[in-house]
Amino acid sequence: MIRQIEPERRPRWAALPIAAGMVGLAAVILWDAAGLKQDGGYAGVGPADVPRLIAWGLILLAAMVVVAGLRGDLPTPPRQAPAPVLWILGGLGLQLALLHSAGFILASGLLFGFTARGLGRKPLWLTVLVGIGLTFVIYGVFDRLLKLNLPGGPIERFIFGG
Amino acid sequence: MDSFALLLQGLSVAFDPMILLYALVGVTLGTAVGVLPGIGPALTVALLLPVTYGLDPAGSLIMFAGIYYGGMYGGSTTSILLNTPGESASIVTAIEGNKMARAGRAGPALATAAVGSFIAGLIATLLLAFLAPQVVKLALTLGPREYFALMVLAFVTVSATFGESALRGLTSLFIGLALACVGIDGLTGAARMTFGVPQLMDGIETTTLAVALFALGEAFAVAGLATPPDTLHAVKGRVSMSREDWSRSWKAWLRGTFIGFPIGSMPAGGADVASFLSYAAERKMAKRPEEFGHGAIEGVAGPEAANNAAAAGTLVPLLTLGLPTTATAAIMLAGFQQFGLQPGPLLFLTNAELVWGLIASLLIANVMLVVLNLPLIGLWIRLLSIPRPWLYAGILVFATLGTIGVNPSPVELGMLILFGFMGYGMRLYGFPVAPVVVGLILGPMAEQQLRRALAIAQGDWSTLVSTPVAAGLLAVSFLFLVGPILLRLIGRGRVLQELAGDSD
């Protein structure tokens, strides 16, 4: 995608949560590094030192992101439609939750159906049905032919015999 | 043995019928996936990685090579016909190529891109074969401090030198470096950032991160768009070139090749830089510069050749030094590592047959592609007309399939979703995603080299600049870091901004 930077200079408040996330990540690294045994050996640089360096780098960059954001030096994203994004997230969440109980075919078929529905294809039952058809073929090719060992559920056991 | 004999030996490996079949499957799959809108070679390779899991190392790496070259080919078709370049290196192709397609000259544009890619791929792969053994000899003389300096250079060029903003590039790199800390420290065995979760001991998988950032991030971004993008341009006429098209193209192909290969083979940015430089060169040298911007065939021929030559060039540091300089190369490295193969000078000694078989397969894949693509282009174009809901639904299923196939743990899938959403956010605010992937894979390597160098010197930091090679590389890195910032300050940053990379 080709992005265009808007010429107008107005503070971009999005810089604040971005910087907060970076500082949060840095804080987790520093907290974790504090619990590591300092074991520098001959190098004088132990397992905790490089993470510390990265964390301080992140904090410095976060400060610069805030400055850049306040000066308006951050691209403005195009207007976002939240509903499709939530459909996809829901599909991914369902797949994660159902994968081991319902098996690959059903869980991934639901992901397919939810994504297609999110991008505007209706009705949901049809997209899910198409998805299950596709994931059935994928399971056959990858699990049986290419020996990829995908998680099975009732459908897989019934059709492919475990 | 000299390169020529080794290459011949490699060809004898590659002409095995089974290997030929793997290469054919690879280029077909690579083109088919690469042609899909929004999918660049990095994502093509990441998505198709699971297909190769069941094969032996030789077969799967060769299929991989085919996928890589096929993905590059497919990307140019998309950018010419759809103006949604799947990879940053194809953005330039889209400038002139899409104009040609609008003017009803899609056929010659596709043809010059295909033939140009073929010629560039052929020359660049041969150059790779002859250059690689020399670099290997050189690489054997390098110690930890030189490797560390090389990696610093790669970090800087990938994140800060090119692109819209050094700040955002560096931020992405540091996020990658931070994620790289997760897992067991390679030198002491200390568990870092694992929080008692056993699945995190192995660290974050490169393929999980790459698929999440590229595939999921892109799917979210496409879904979130309020207005759908450009429509497809039908191909009118045959995919062939007139005598005039040939005579205008061939010099551009050669120039593009010799611009692209050196840039790709240095740890100094990937194919996107090469294709932009080639475009600039063609515009300068054109007999009819007024055609540029309205569909000049040189503007398709040169950058496409440069793009493919650079792609072959990036294999030089990857194979000889184990140093990935693009996101695609980083994923290829992950592919090597899954078979316990560590690219680097030793690979040429311990697995010479495999390396040369791989290089020979690249030559064969290249021939297959041009044979496959010119007649089959109509079929690939039909793939482009898959409606977006089905297309992205399929992409998501395949994206999760890779993770589920390797490690079906909820932790791994959770990370995939988390990083996918992070990729979406990064896309929205113009943070490049490629430096994250490169940081993740190069970070631990750079750390180990640094600590090894310091251990050899008993903790004396001046050892890092004590050899001319190491000091020179670090000086160049510093220039590449500070130079662009100064250029932007004095208002000359437009050139760099034009070199902005998005996917690899």
> Which tens digit of pLDDT belongs to each residue from B62-92?
888 888 888 888 878 877 777 665 556 667 7
Q: How far is CA B340 from the centre of its chain?
A: 21
Give the one of A2, A46, A134 whose C-beta lies nearest to B394's C-beta.
Answer: A134
Instruction: Classify the C-alpha dihedral B304-B307-B309-B312 as positive or negative.
Output: negative
Yes or no, beta carbons of A50 and B447 under 8 Å apart: yes
Q: What pLDDT digit, counting tens, does each position of A52-91 carry?
A: 999 999 999 999 999 988 888 788 887 888 888 999 999 9
- Residue B503's pLDDT band, with cuts at 50, 70 and 90, is very low
Give the one of B216, B226, B405 whose C-beta lies nearest to A148's C-beta.
Answer: B405
Yes or no, beta carbons of A46 and B458 under 8 Å apart: no
77-96 in B: which are within 8 Å (CB) of A?
84-85, 91
Give the whole-angstrom CA distance, residue A140 versus residue A148. Answer: 10
Q: What pLDDT digit, counting tens, does each position of B369-385 carry?
A: 888 877 777 777 777 77
Tally of CB atoms within 10 A around A90 = 16
Select the highest-mean-pLDDT range: A87-96, B110-119, B360-369. Answer: A87-96
State the pLDDT at residue B337: 81
In tens digits, what is the pLDDT along chain A, a chain of 162 residues? 444 444 556 778 888 999 999 999 999 999 988 888 776 677 778 888 889 999 999 999 999 999 988 888 788 887 888 888 999 999 999 999 988 888 889 999 999 999 999 888 888 889 999 999 999 998 888 887 777 778 888 888 888 775
- Residue B425's pLDDT band, with cuts at 50, 70 and 90, is very high
A125 vs chain B: nearest CA distance in angstroms?
A: 14
Prior bond to A7 cis, omega within 30? no
Three-state DSSP class for residue A80: strand
48-107 in A: which are within 8 Å (CB) of B?
48, 50-51, 54-55, 57-58, 61, 64-65, 68, 73-75, 77-82, 84-85, 87-89, 91-93, 95-96, 99-100, 104
**Residue B104 Ramachandran class (φ > 0 left, ψ -120 to 50 alpha, else beta):** left
State the pLDDT at residue B97: 82
Please name the residue of chain A whose CA is at the shortest distance from the CA of residue B184.
A47
> Which stretch of A5-14, B110-119, B186-195, B275-284 has the lowest confidence by average pLDDT?
A5-14
Yes or no, beta carbons of A1 and B430 under 8 Å apart: no
B493 vs chain A: nearest CA distance in angstroms?
A: 13
State the pLDDT at residue B501: 42
pLDDT above 50 (res B102) = yes
> Which stretch of A48-62, B220-234, B467-481 has the lowest confidence by average pLDDT?
B220-234
State the pLDDT at residue B438: 87
State the pLDDT at residue B61: 80
Please name the residue of chain A whose CA is at the shortest distance from the CA of residue B217.
A85
Q: What pLDDT digit, counting tens, does each position of B313-354 carry?
A: 888 888 888 888 888 888 888 888 877 888 888 888 888 888
Q: What share of chain B in percent tops pLDDT 90? A: 9
Q: What is the mean pLDDT of residues B256-281?
A: 79
Give the whole-angstrom CA distance, residue B210 versus residue B420. Answer: 9
H helices within B35-105, ranges in order? 41-48, 57-82, 91-102
pLDDT above 60 (res B237) = no
Q: What pLDDT digit, counting tens, does each position of B172-226 carry?
A: 999 999 999 998 887 787 888 888 788 888 888 888 898 898 888 888 888 887 6
This prediction has a pTM of 0.87
Contact B175/A at CB under 8 A: yes
Q: Which residues from B are below 8 Å from A5, CB to CB?
A: 164, 430, 497
Count of CB contacts below 8 A, A vs B?
A: 215
Please name the residue of chain A whose CA is at the shortest distance from the CA of residue B404.
A150
Burial class (CB in 10 A: 0-12, 13-18, 19+), A162: exposed
Q: Which residues from A are below 8 Å from B429, CB to CB?
A: 14, 18, 74-75, 77
State the pLDDT at residue B405: 80
State the pLDDT at residue A53: 93
State the pLDDT at residue A103: 87
Q: What is the mean pLDDT of residues B460-484?
A: 87
Yes or no, beta carbons of B178 and A55 under 8 Å apart: yes
Give the whole-angstrom CA distance, residue B400 versus residue B497. Answer: 34
Q: What is the mean pLDDT of residues B236-255?
A: 78
- Residue B269's pLDDT band, with cuts at 50, 70 and 90, is low
Q: For residues B50 and B399, which has the higher predicted lDDT (pLDDT)?
A: B399
Q: What is the mean pLDDT of residues B436-440?
A: 90
Q: What share of chain B in percent tops pLDDT 70? A: 90
A157 vs chain B: nearest CA distance in angstroms?
A: 18
Dihedral, B394, A104, B503, B25 alpha carbons, nearest 10: -70
Give the one of B170, B190, B410 whose C-beta lies nearest to A37's C-beta.
Answer: B190
Q: How far is CA B372 from the centre of its chain?
A: 22
Q: What is the mean pLDDT of residues B24-35?
A: 86
Contact A34/B at CB under 8 A: no
pLDDT above 70 (res B49) = yes
The ranges assigned to domains in chain A are 15-70, 82-160
Yes or no, beta carbons of A51 and B388 under 8 Å apart: no
Yes or no, beta carbons of A115 and B188 under 8 Å apart: no
Q: What pLDDT digit, counting tens, does each position of B148-168 carry?
A: 998 898 888 888 766 668 888
